[in-house]
Structure 1
Amino acid sequence: MTFSIVARDPQTGAFGIATATAGPMVGALVPHTRSGRGAAATQAMTNPYLAFDALELLDGRDAEAALQAALARDEEAALRQMIVVDQVGRTAAWTGQSCIAFAGHLCRDGVAVAGNMLAGPEVIADMLSAYLLLKGKVDFASTLLGALNAGAETGGDIRGIGSAALRVHGAESFAEVDIRVDWSEEPLVDLQGLLDRASGGPYAEFFSTLPRRAGHF
């Protein structure tokens, strides 16, 4: 039903998520980040508490340990899918056996991708390849969105795409980029438009004036 990527920018330490689905408002429940902790995307039969728990458990645990401890609290873990990246870039993933095919995930150092109800395994394979190809060549947010577009071009969600979201969270308690398209005929096009507005012109100047208090939780 959803395909997502989570990553840690090795240059800045920021965490990022990009996600898309056929249904509305994917940005409301799937992407979760926390400054100094990590990022998690929770999907399939979405349980936001899995992400809340995993990010809390990253205090003193690595991504895999936090993921497994969070899953242990969920009696319906077989219906869930989640990917996590921790504060130093270690990744972990879970695809429950009851997720609708094609469902799967891929993990590398600093990045993880996952999806369910997809056109096929090439969706997440192309997402990962696109991320690795773009990394360091364009800004972090554009790298994440490029990976999401690659998955969509390979077939994405078999039902199509109705909503999408992108988040980048650095040292501050608030996210640097937190944009979403809750319902659209072309959500990825609209998401790109929002990113362009946020990163250029007077809007970028406004965001640059926001107060900074790194490390505040």
Structure 2
Amino acid sequence: MGRIRPDPVLVQAVIAGALSFAHLHDLAAAAGQDGWKAWAYPISVDLLLVAAWRRLRNDDSSRLAWCWFVIALVASLGANVVTAGFLDLRHPPAWLRFGIAGWPALAFLGGTLLAHTRTVAEAADPAPPADVAPAPAPVRAPVPTPEPPADPPEEDASDLPAAELPGESPRPAPAPAPVPAALVAHARKVADEHHARTGEQIDTDTLRARLGVPSQLADSIAAQLT
């Protein structure tokens, strides 16, 4: 087993706490608080001092914590100084008896305020109510991007009938490519936005660039927008 080495700081803290505790007990007993009441006074003073110090560590700008820390510190230091012979504790003055008798109410008020007053961080960032769930963000349906139609295979002029040979008769125009309804609706929004911004109808080249579709598909969409 390793050797137990006492911590000098801890030993000093225990000695100082015991002396302060005894001085507060002697002062309370001299002021007429006998029995268990005389032992309760030093506990009350030390607990208020610790509570105020913990509040200062969590909220260093709190005037409330500083106020009660100073009050508890004055009560503790005052007891140590008074018991050093500055007062005749066999005949304590009236103000000392008055202060000892009123300390429980003062300590109760300080402890309640320190425990139930919100800190600056809590007041600046209030927590949302537990029973109110945040509203879900709206989900926009993705606009399907149509695949460009495959180019029709080129036909050899020698395989065409005589009526379809160049110079004989014009070839009929190809049927417009089918356009999905969702793409037409999206194109209509783009056209309305362009008209609202510029005051002019959108042309086919601009529509094709905004939608990112081939020119043939852009022509079909433009025909449905008119």
- Bin the TM-score by the shorter chain: under 0.3
Q: Of the two structures, which has the highest relative contact order with CA contacts closer than 8 Å and spacing of 6 or more? A: 1
- The TM-score with structure 1 as length reference comes to 0.20
Structure with bigger strand share is: 1
For the pair shown, the structure with the greater C-alpha radius of gyration is: 2
